Chain A
């Protein structure tokens, strides 16, 4: 379980590094964020939700069944869009932040 940050997409805002509950994300000399301690990620997805440009890929480690598929999010006011990318296929799920879980 971990994340990887797309350096090309990162806009140097530093928000992911700020919220990571483990302090695992740091910014390099160009202020681009990267995960310095990938094995220490809890998988909480706090960083994803901060990223306005969808630069953070959240994936399952191969040791827990990961096969290369990843997830990222985009925030749109009351909605949070979750994108799961499997090769060229992209699944989108949207949760309404104001709506409660049914289960």
Chain B
């Protein structure tokens, strides 16, 4: 084959560090801080945007939702998460992060995060596990703390695409710059993956101009999952998707209203409807129950559904305006633009498209008790780490700390990284440069993305089908995703941003492929909406109180079922 001359081509640049952190969001920043405070090891953070506002905390956050308030304990926290996730959690991992939640919160306060306190100086709770903060500036505060550490080098504008895998161990990663024509080969003794989860797999609520007005960061495109999948790492519980219940259109949080002013969910007839959908007397409805009830009310023709805010006080309304400015300003803008605030009109709610996100659900890398994946030298924390749902911001920090300490211990016993053959590096650079050489084909980047989202929506349980999956439909989805993976090889990049977009599409296609296999594997309905199987509509504790795990081998997704890991177990991988 004769390669045509082309304007754009990346040139390799070799870097070395002790610990590479992929993604400078919540977990990644905290991992870096932990390493710097406990050692002299060199850390490199590769971040595709800029750590000041990258990741899930870009706009801010309304509250800290994983905190052990007085009267609660790490043990009761594990029980709560276990119940909410229908038993499919890594109790050991949830327990170890639960023990760190309050300590990392205190650290956030020391960094400058305002936390609401009472007259005695104690945090004011917003429920059993929540405290009130001003989270607008939380990411810049974390970034500042990282920047103050001398042994941490930050590479902003670098997108990591794959791990360097030697045998069963990870010894760095490949990536490219979004600013210069550089292809990075970064050698590291250990790698911590903190890329976040995956948005944009499914057709979103607002598929037109506002397609990115979604719950999760649209810039979290499953890179960490996809790199792990391609490298053969074991993944867990991808079928436990997360779907949020949000304010209509702006996809802003509902918890602030529901918990803040105690607003109830009502249908268009003004009836409270959640309790009718299997919520036990006296029990609090779980997130999927509230969502499921809303989907069914709409299907029965009793929609739209609302949070009943009409009649709240002027002071409460002003409080909500400010609270939303600090995390989801679009909602305050909407209220003011309509000249109708929550005191005058109830707030319409809807379910979002499904996401794969380990901070809320349990999907992600399968880890040992110390956050190491099944690939030696590769650790994971935050939304990309599996088994510990409902960890939210503070849980991601705690996990970032656990992964950092484990990585430090690992590099202590490391006997050095072997450099790659020049030809191997060149092959990898050439593969990426091919996207600059591809002729413009029939399909552009947007078309492939739209096709993926449409397939997932219709055949893999998106909004349009009420989140329900069936074997027959999943098989169609699997076939279509395979075809799109083929098409994606023909995509053409005109510049570095296009090259990023292509990788984001391909990564999501890999996540879709594995997600479909997981959804098909779980032959029961474990979670309403998140994993609702029309062929097996009931929960089956006899056969399916297990993890559905997978490994990608030679182009095939192999499913493995594993037994539940208990709270006090010390879990190690067996090779």
Contact = CB atoms under 8 A, between A and B. Distances in A.
Interface of A: 1-2, 18-23, 36-46, 58-67, 69-71, 80, 82, 84, 86, 91, 93, 95-103
Given A19-B52, A100-B115, A58 B329 contact: yes
B134 interface: yes
Given A1-B212, A60-B250, A67-B337, A93 B58 contact: no
B134 A64 contact: no
Contact of B326 (A63, A64, A66, A95): A95
A2 B213 CA distance: 9
A74 to B, nearest CB: 13
B481 interface: no
B290 to A, nearest CB: 19
Interface stretch (B222-230, B315-323, B405-413, B521-529): B315-323
A92 B512 CA distance: 44
A23 B49 contact: yes
Contacts of B133: 100-101
B50 to A, nearest CB: 5
Given A21-B219, A46-B58, A93-B332, A62 B260 contact: no
A66 B250 CA distance: 10
Contact of A44 (B53, B132, B134): B53
Given A100-B114, A101-B323, 17 more contacts: A22-B212, A43-B213, A43-B329, A46-B58, A60-B249, A64-B334, A65-B337, A86-B336, A86-B337, A95-B322, A100-B116, A101-B63, A101-B132, A101-B135, A101-B319, A102-B132, A103-B259
A101 B62 contact: yes
B359 to A, nearest CB: 17
A2 to B, nearest CB: 7
Contact of B319 (A22, A66, A82, A103): A103
B276 interface: no
Give the bracket for the number of chain B residues in contact with chain A: 35 or more
Contact of B210 (A58, A61, A70): A61
Contact of A80 (B49, B135, B136, B316): B136
A1 B213 contact: yes
B208 interface: yes
The secondary structure that dominates the B interface is loop
Contact of A43 (B59, B208, B320): B59
A93 B333 CA distance: 11
B489 interface: no
A61 B209 contact: yes
Contact of A39 (B135, B212, B333, B338): B212
A1 B210 contact: yes
B211 interface: yes
A61 B49 contact: no
A23 B329 contact: no
Contacts of B334: 60, 64-65
Given A23-B497, A93-B321, A60 B206 contact: no
Given A65-B338, A103-B256, A42 B116 contact: no
Contacts of A21: 49-50, 53-55, 58, 217, 219
B49 A20 contact: yes
A20 B114 CA distance: 24
A96 to B, nearest CB: 8
Given A101-B63, A101-B132, A69 B114 contact: no
Contacts of A1: 206, 209-210, 212-213, 250, 330
Contacts of B320: 103
B441 to A, nearest CB: 21
